[in-house]
């Protein structure tokens, strides 16, 4: 009838009945009969229709009333400034300020809130247990592309799933101290603010846990499973409140959780302009902070910040009796232990750090010797030990056939940091050895002088600087120079 009157057939509709119907709709939706506010997208629809039987102010009243009723129907919501009464959301946080401090509902709400905090804090303690002084968030050295994509999607999902911070901001924005005192004088505005703060703490504990879960993940499914688990931990208070509403915890809590406190919202200046700006700002700020942190972690991983920069490698006592070495016409006897020593990261290869052999004396560059390398072979998914001057066959150079020929190779691995590899290694001894050998790999990063055997100092980058006066050397200053002179007792 309203649509017919306002749009199609005003001359066939009775204006008095239309006005009455519009007023009923407005009363049902709790809309005040007042002119539309301009701006915020709330302008009434325009029309040049005239109504038979009404002139002047009466005609305008009918049209305005119908326009407001139609707007309410089309948008299925009332204008914020037209809402006469609202009620507090059903939550244990509401019981924190609507129930007396010495009462069962208040104790119930406090315990539910505390339980929620405990679950989130335990999650944080567990996540921070992976941290170290140089890796506060326990971030892995690197992740696969699909995991990287899931991390960025997970941040968006995690922020959208968080409800407590937006609810706290909405409550604070809607109910002022004056409106609370005028409608429910017995309620304390300080306790109301305390409840909002408790909501916000819950929300930011959840967001921090989400961030740590995402940056520590190295598997796609782990990200989304952990998000669901954290969402459950955050919503424990809602679960307990809904159970209390079903009279699962007694009549007292049943009555407290089913009692609605109706209150008239505050009328603040420029509320139309600030309608959703604050809520959107908080959402965008939280999202931006999470993405900034994730981008920083991504850049650090690409720069190798979470990789051990220097390792000591011990290849054991495996030998190759007829090794083919560049510059030598005849095969040579090769002991793999010759390549024991310090390897340092120099750039990337196939998305993993590239470790290059260094001088055994001081960990610096070789003067003339060509160092070996340990790199990741994408084709086989293994870490491989190579040397450009050593051949497997007279017709094939080590880096020829498959692009990452090997002298020693690990099992298939997805590890980005060579120091964290726990695998067996296979040696080339003229043929593929069936019995795998263990390779000892130790990170040379130090924490204090004790890691340098008190023969040097630990630098900020985690490397030992050996004291030349004590003639010590090695990655941990564990070695000493040979005796420079000896004496005999031939004629003594």
Please tell me the distance from the alpha carbon of residue 389 to that of residue 443, in angstroms, as a whole number: 27
Q: For residue 87, name the pLDDT band (cuts at 50, 70, 90).
A: confident
Residue 248: Cβ-neighbour burial (10 angstroms; 0-12, 13-18, 19+): exposed
With a CB cutoff of 8 Å and minimum separation 6, the contacts of 270 are: none
Taking alpha carbons only, the member of 392, 394, 416, 418 closest to residue 405 is: 392
- Considering 28-37, 211-220, 342-351, 416-425, the range whose residues carry the highest mean pLDDT is 211-220
Higher pLDDT, 429 or 329: 429
Please tell me the distance from the alpha carbon of residue 466 to that of residue 456, in angstroms, as a whole number: 4
Handedness of CA 383, 389, 392, 396 (dihedral sign): positive
User: What are 239's two structure tokens?
Assistant: 């679960």
Q: Is the pLDDT of residue 41 over 50?
A: no
pLDDT tens digits, residue range 401-415?
555 778 888 888 888
Q: For residue 296, name the pLDDT band (cuts at 50, 70, 90).
A: very high
Please count the residues of the chain: 492
Mean of all residue pLDDT scores within the chain: 78
| pLDDT above 90 as % of the chain | 24
- This prediction's pTM: 0.71
Q: What angle do CA 402, 406, 407 make, to 5 degrees?
A: 155
Q: For residue 27, name the pLDDT band (cuts at 50, 70, 90).
A: low
Torsions phi, psi for 312 (to 5 deg): -110, 130
In the 8-state DSSP scheme, what is residue 196?
H
SS (H, E, C) 91-108: CHHHHHHHCCCCCHHHHH
User: What local confidence, expressed as pLDDT, does residue 437 receive?
Assistant: 66
Please tell me the distance from the alpha carbon of residue 104 to that of residue 391, in angstroms, as a whole number: 81
Q: Is the pLDDT of residue 273 over 80?
A: no
Please tell me the distance from the alpha carbon of residue 475 to that of residue 314, in angstroms, as a whole number: 13
Please tell me the distance from the alpha carbon of residue 447 to that of residue 308, in angstroms, as a whole number: 13
pLDDT tens digits, residue range 359-417?
877 677 887 788 899 999 888 888 999 888 887 776 655 444 555 778 888 888 888 88
End-to-end CA distance of the chain: 130
Q: For residue 220, name the pLDDT band (cuts at 50, 70, 90).
A: very high
Query: H helices within 217-342, ranges in order?
Result: 220-234, 236-245, 251-257, 277-302
Of 85-89, 93-97, 179-183, minimum mean pLDDT range = 85-89
**Which helix (H) or strand (E) segment is 263 a member of?**
strand 262-263
Strands 341-349 and 310-314: antiparallel
For 446-468, b/e burial (b = at least 16 CB within 10 A) is beeeebbbebbebeeebbbebee
Higher pLDDT, 38 or 435: 435
In the block, which residue shows the tokens 């009723």? 69
Taking alpha carbons only, the member of 401, 402, 404, 407 closest to residue 426 is: 407
In the block, which residue shows the tokens 């040049």? 48
Q: Is the pLDDT of residue 143 over 50?
A: yes
User: Do residues 476 and 444 touch, judged by C-beta distance below 8 A?
Assistant: yes
Taking alpha carbons only, the member of 76, 69, 80 closest to residue 25 is: 69
* Mean pLDDT of the 238-266 span: 84
User: What are 470's two structure tokens?
Assistant: 């004590």
Q: For residue 154, name the pLDDT band (cuts at 50, 70, 90).
A: very high
User: What local confidence, expressed as pLDDT, does residue 264 receive?
Assistant: 65
Q: What angle do CA 306, 295, 292 make, to 5 degrees?
A: 125
Question: Which residues sit opposite 37 in a β-bridge?
Answer: none
């Amino acid at each position: 009838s309203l649509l017919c009157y306002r749009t199609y057939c005003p001359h066939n509709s009775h204006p008095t009945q239309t006005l009455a119907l519009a007023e009923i709709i407005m009363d049902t939706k709790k809309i005040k009969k007042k002119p539309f506010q301009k701006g915020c997208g709330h302008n009434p629809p325009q029309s040049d229709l005239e109504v038979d039987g009404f002139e002047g102010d009466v005609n305008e009243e009918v049209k305005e009333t119908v326009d407001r009723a139609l707007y309410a129907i089309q948008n299925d919501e009332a204008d914020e400034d037209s809402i006469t009464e609202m009620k507090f959301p059903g939550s244990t946080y509401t019981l924190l300020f609507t129930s007396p401090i010495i009462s069962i509902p208040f104790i119930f709400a406090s315990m539910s809130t505390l339980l929620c905090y405990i679950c989130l804090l335990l999650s944080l303690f567990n996540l921070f247990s992976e941290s170290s002084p140089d890796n506060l968030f326990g971030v892995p050295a690197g992740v696969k592309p699909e995991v990287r994509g899931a991390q960025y999607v997970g941040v968006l999902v995690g922020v959208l799933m968080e409800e407590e911070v937006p609810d706290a901001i909405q409550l604070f924005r809607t109910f002022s101290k004056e409106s609370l005192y005028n409608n429910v004088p017995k309620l304390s505005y300080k306790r109301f603010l305390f409840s909002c703060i408790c909501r916000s703490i819950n929300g930011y504990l959840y967001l921090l846990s989400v961030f740590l879960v995402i940056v520590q993940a190295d598997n796609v499914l782990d990200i989304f499973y952990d998000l669901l688990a954290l969402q459950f931990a955050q919503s424990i208070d809602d679960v307990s409140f809904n159970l209390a509403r079903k009279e699962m915890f007694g009549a007292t809590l049943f009555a407290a959780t089913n009692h609605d406190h109706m209150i008239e919202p505050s009328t603040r200046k420029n509320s139309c302009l600030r309608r959703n700006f604050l809520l959107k700002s908080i959402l965008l700020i939280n999202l931006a902070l999470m993405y900034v942190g994730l981008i920083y972690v991504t850049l650090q991983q690409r720069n190798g910040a979470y990789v051990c920069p220097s390792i000591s490698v011990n290849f054991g006592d495996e030998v190759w009796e007829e090794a083919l070495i560049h510059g030598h016409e005849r095969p040579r006897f090769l002991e793999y232990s010759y390549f024991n020593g310090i390897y340092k990261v120099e750039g990337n290869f196939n998305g993993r750090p590239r470790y290059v052999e260094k001088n055994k004396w001081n960990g610096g560059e070789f003067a003339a010797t060509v160092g070996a390398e340990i790199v990741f072979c994408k084709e086989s998914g293994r870490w491989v030990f190579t040397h450009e001057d050593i051949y497997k066959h007279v017709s094939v150079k080590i880096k020829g056939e498959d692009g990452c020929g090997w002298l020693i190779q690990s099992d298939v691995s997805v590890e980005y940091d060579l120091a964290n590899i726990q695998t067996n290694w296979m040696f080339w001894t003229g043929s593929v050895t069936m019995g795998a050998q263990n390779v000892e790999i130790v990170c040379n990063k130090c924490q204090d002088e004790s890691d340098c055997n008190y023969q040097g100092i630990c630098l900020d980058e985690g490397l030992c600087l050996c004291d030349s006066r004590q003639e010590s050397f090695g990655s941990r200053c564990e070695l000493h120079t040979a005796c420079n002179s000896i004496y005999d007792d031939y004629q003594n």
